[in-house]
Amino acid sequence: MRGAVRLSVLTVAATLVVSVISISSPTLAAAVTDPPNDFFADAISVTPLPYGPATLDTTLATTETNETAPYCSSDGSNGIANTVWYRYDAPSSGGVQVNTFGSDFDTKIGVWQGTDIMSLTQVGCAHKSGVFGQFVAFHATSGLTYYIQIGGDPFDGATNPYGSLHVNIGVPVTVHRLDNATYPDLSGYPNDRFGTDAAVAEQAFPSGASTVYVANGLNFPDALGASAAAATVGAPVLLVTPTSIPAAIAHELTALHPTTIYVVGGPGSVSSGVATALGAF
């Protein structure tokens, strides 16, 4: 052969690049549904109390043909929209409180007695923003049925009459006022911080206290600091002035009959004369 033919084979490596395109589906908002207690006949039972806290979307709530709006004498309003219902069958007589604190719209609350939407008797109503517009209390009688109607004001242009409703229904918290007028043996003393302090001690320590902390009642940081120490040993904190022992405090010291008294602060806070006088108790 005149010449060799050299065959060069060039191998080309082809690289296949695959691009993966991820298509994200849009996030769908949760569907708003009709509230289960939209109608009077479907009222949610709240017996026994307490009920809640419970949250409900009232956007699709309606009002029924025969539904009556509660009349609130506080503002003369009698309109209501987007209502839901709750039912309470009173097992015993006593107070009941309903509040919608935390709702994101101006709620209106009506409380009715009866079992037929056509013949209900109103026993309570609350309307307008603020604490008292979101709270109503009533006295329930054993054996009777009460319906609680909650909605919004259709004439309030500031907010929609619907939204996220927060409901609490329960027995009212018992509130006691504690001052020296509460106790006959202290009622004759001035109704001031010292009389109130004596009343607090009498309520908390009716059988006396072996240890008592005494602090300047005109300089609250001393009493505040003493309260933590007193709490660890189960002792009251009684207040005096820098130069005297108020009559109500003297009365309470006699009743408590302590064996140890701790005076909080130096002579500028509670004088040496007062410290000496305390030893007589």
Tell me the average pLDDT across 252-278: 96
What pLDDT does 184 receive?
85
Residues 87 and 45 in one domain: yes
* Residue 114 confidence class, pLDDT cut points 50, 70, 90: very high
pLDDT of residue 187: 85
Global pTM value: 0.61
Same domain, 208 and 111: no
The answer, yes or no, to whether residue 79 has pLDDT greater than 70, is yes
88 and 152 in one domain?
yes
Same domain, 200 and 259: yes
State residue 88's pLDDT score: 98
Instruction: Give the separation between CA 197 and CA 193, rounded to whole angstroms.
Output: 6
User: Of 135, 170, 205, which residue constitutes the final position of a domain?
Assistant: 170
- Report the percent of the chain where pLDDT is more than 90: 69
Give the end of a domain, one of 151, 170, 189.
170
Residues 6+ apart with CB under 8 A from 92: 142
- Domain containing residue 90: 40-170
CATH number, domain of 121, equals 2.60.120
Of the residues 144, 170, 196, the one at which a domain ends: 170
Q: b or e along 198-220 (b: 16 or more beta carbons within 10 Å of the residue's beta carbon)?
A: bbbbbeebeeebebbbbbbbebe
Indicate the number of domains in the chain: 2
Residues 143 and 207 reside in one and the same domain: no
Give the pLDDT of residue 77: 62
d(CA 62, CA 177): 43
Listed range (83-97, 164-178, 257-271) with the worst mean pLDDT: 164-178
Examine the domain organization and report whether 44 and 129 are in the same domain: yes
Rounded to whole angstroms, the Cα distance separating 84 from 103 reads 14
Whole-Å CA distances, 49 to 87, 115, 249: 11, 19, 42
Q: What does the pLDDT look like over 115-144, one tens digit per residue?
A: 999 999 999 999 875 555 689 999 999 999
In terms of domains, do 126 and 241 share one?
no
29 part of a folded domain: no
pLDDT at 265: 94
Q: Residue type for 140, please? A: A
- Tell me: the pLDDT tens digits for 180-209? 888 888 888 998 999 999 999 999 999 999
36 or 220, which is more confident = 36
Please indicate, yes or no, whether residues 166 and 190 belong to a single structural domain of this protein.
no
